[in-house]
């Protein structure tokens, strides 16, 4: 990647919003953060020139976490899943290899979740994927379910206060399928509360709240799980797969 320069938002819009934009410019927030204070970054962005074939991987709603080295970590106020204009301003359609969202989609209603999934679909390359982790409504643990329930456990300033849905593997799968994705279940509980694990590579997107990495899961005892999926954009467009 070659760094072009740090631009204001207006200059940036001028570059990325040209009709002949070939997608060779992307933002590198990671690099920009190394050079600029967070406050300055709200007005200034670093633009890098990348080969169209390069591997652009984006974390949405990262909440300050930097768990995925080499990925572009973004926050809700710069890249909102429900603001398509944010995506159009920053990315070119079909340009992103992978999108990761850990405990973000439960802050959207089911319908908003489909809308967000459709936006991700449009900006992913064919064969690209969303690795999505949310609280699991089928995990049989009273403390956990009280924590993750709609509206959260009580305090208005609790991180879970904005929960709008408690997904199960069925709702999360159907939500992404409605947006045209093929879904692979990585970690989930079934209707009987039984936990299922299908091996996944953390190098393709690290999820902390998971069987292997959450510090609360010790000696084979699961204290905190997530429902984790890969939602894969098919290599070929399937007109009947998405109803829009």
Ligand X SMILES: C[S@@+](CC[C@H](N)C(=O)[O-])C[C@H]1O[C@@H](n2cnc3c(N)ncnc32)[C@H](O)[C@@H]1O
List residues binding ligand X (CB under 6 A).
Answer: 60-63, 65, 76, 80-82, 102-104, 107, 159
Residue 59: CB minimum distance to ligand X, A? 7
**Residue 231: strand pairing partners:** 130, 183
Alpha helices by DSSP H, listed for 97-237, are: 110-123, 142-148, 169-178
3-state SS, residue 196:
strand
Comparison of 11 and 112: residue with beta carbon closer to ligand X? 112
Least distance (Å) between residue 208 CB and ligand X: 6
Residue 139 contacts residue 149 (beta carbons within 8 Å): no
Q: Which residue is nearest to ligand X (CB)?
A: 63
Contacts of 121 (CB under 8 A, 6+ apart): 179, 180, 181, 233, 242
Smaller CB separation from ligand X, 60 or 225: 60
Of 104 and 232, CB closest to ligand X = 104
Cβ proximity to ligand X: between 80 and 94 the closer is 80
Residue with tokens 């009947």: 240
Q: What CA–CA distance (Å, rounded) separates 149 from 153? A: 7
Taking the complex as a whole, how short is the minimal distance between the CB of residue 83 and ligand X, in angstroms?
A: 8
Minimum distance from CB of 68 to ligand X (Å)? 10
């Amino acid at each position: 990647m070659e760094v072009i320069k740090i631009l204001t938002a207006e200059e940036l819009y001028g570059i990325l919003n040209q009709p002949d934009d070939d997608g060779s410019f992307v933002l590198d927030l990671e690099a920009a953060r190394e050079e600029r204070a967070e406050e300055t970054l709200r007005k200034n962005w670093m633009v890098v020139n990348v080969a169209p074939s390069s591997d652009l991987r984006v974390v949405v709603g990262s909440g300050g976490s930097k768990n995925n080295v080499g990925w572009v970590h973004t926050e809700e106020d710069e890249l909102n899943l429900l603001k398509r204009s944010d995506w159009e301003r920053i990315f070119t359609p079909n340009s992103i290899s992978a999108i990761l969202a850990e405990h973000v989609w439960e802050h959207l209603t089911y319908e908003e979740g489909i809308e967000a999934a459709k936006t991700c679909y449009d900006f992913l390359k064919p064969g690209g994927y969303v690795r999505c982790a949310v609280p699991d409504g089928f995990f049989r643990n009273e403390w956990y379910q009280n924590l993750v329930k709609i509206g959260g456990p009580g305090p208005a300033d609790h991180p879970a206060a904005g929960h709008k849905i408690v997904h199960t593997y069925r709702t999360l799968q159907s939500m992404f399928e409605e947006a045209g994705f093929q879904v692979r279940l990585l970690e989930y509980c079934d209707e009987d509360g039984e936990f299922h694990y299908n091996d996944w590579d953390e190098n393709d997107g690290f999820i902390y709240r998971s069987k292997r990495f959450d510090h609360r899961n010790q000696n084979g005892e699961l204290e905190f799980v997530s429902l984790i999926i890969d939602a894969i954009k098919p290599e070929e467009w399937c007109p009947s797969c998405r109803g829009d």
